[in-house]
Amino acid sequence: MRTVIFDLDGTLADTSGDLLAAANHCFREMGHGDVLVHGQDAAIALRGGRMMLTHGLKRVGAYADETVNKYYPVLLEAYSQAIDTHTQFYPGAIEAVGTLKAAGYGIGICTNKPEALADLLLTRMGVRDQFASLVGADTLPVRKPDPEPLREAARRAGGNPDLCILIGDSDTDRNTARAAGVPSVLVTFGPSGADMAALEPEALLEHFRDLPELVAGLIGAAA
């Protein structure tokens, strides 16, 4: 079976608002107030919790590895308590997933978000059952850009890992697909969209309505 594997944050959904809120919870506990700015720092948010803590602490001149390590679990707990307050799927994302499933492709997710949080978010948003597989940052001993999480996501979705495609939004996704020897499609509507062309993916995606045609062109029809 051919499979379409999606990154989550910044690809299927804009999760930046809830991520930034969790990071600012940590900064307030440290006594710095709200350091990261909604909208302005969305690209930082979509690079993960440690990246938000690192950037915020450097912004206020208080960066230390031990501080990041101390507050990372605090951030994850705060995020889990309000994981779907601001998060929204990008226009057409879930509709495209449905179209691809109906065409016979296996559908999965490969994300560097911890698996439990990704599962919680998808469940809260009411779409967990749309994805046959979910491989997170801690599902395997390695994470993206190692190719094995992508391959495992394809296998768990019932597919051949050599016949999958990764839909993402970052150099991490591009490098993961390249390492796996499969094509990637990078979205241009996220906060880092203007930088995607320079990564030379097999295709760029401006709107999810175009995804089924791109997938068929790059890995062939499902049947």
Q: What is the phi/psi pair of residue 141, to 5°? A: -65, -15
Tell me, what amino acid is at 94?
I
> Could you tell me which residues come within 8 angstroms of residue 206 by beta carbon, excluding any fewer than 6 positions away?
187, 188, 189
List the catalytic residue out of 7, 9, 41, 169: 7
For every residue of 154-195, DSSP letters joined together read HHHTT--GGGEEEEESSHHHHHHHHHHT--EEEESSSTTGGG
Tell me, what amino acid is at 139?
T
Distance from C-alpha of 42 to C-alpha of 98, rounded to nearest angstrom: 27
**Annotation marks residue 7 as catalytic:** yes
Distance from C-alpha of 206 to C-alpha of 138, rounded to nearest angstrom: 30
- The catalytic residues are 7
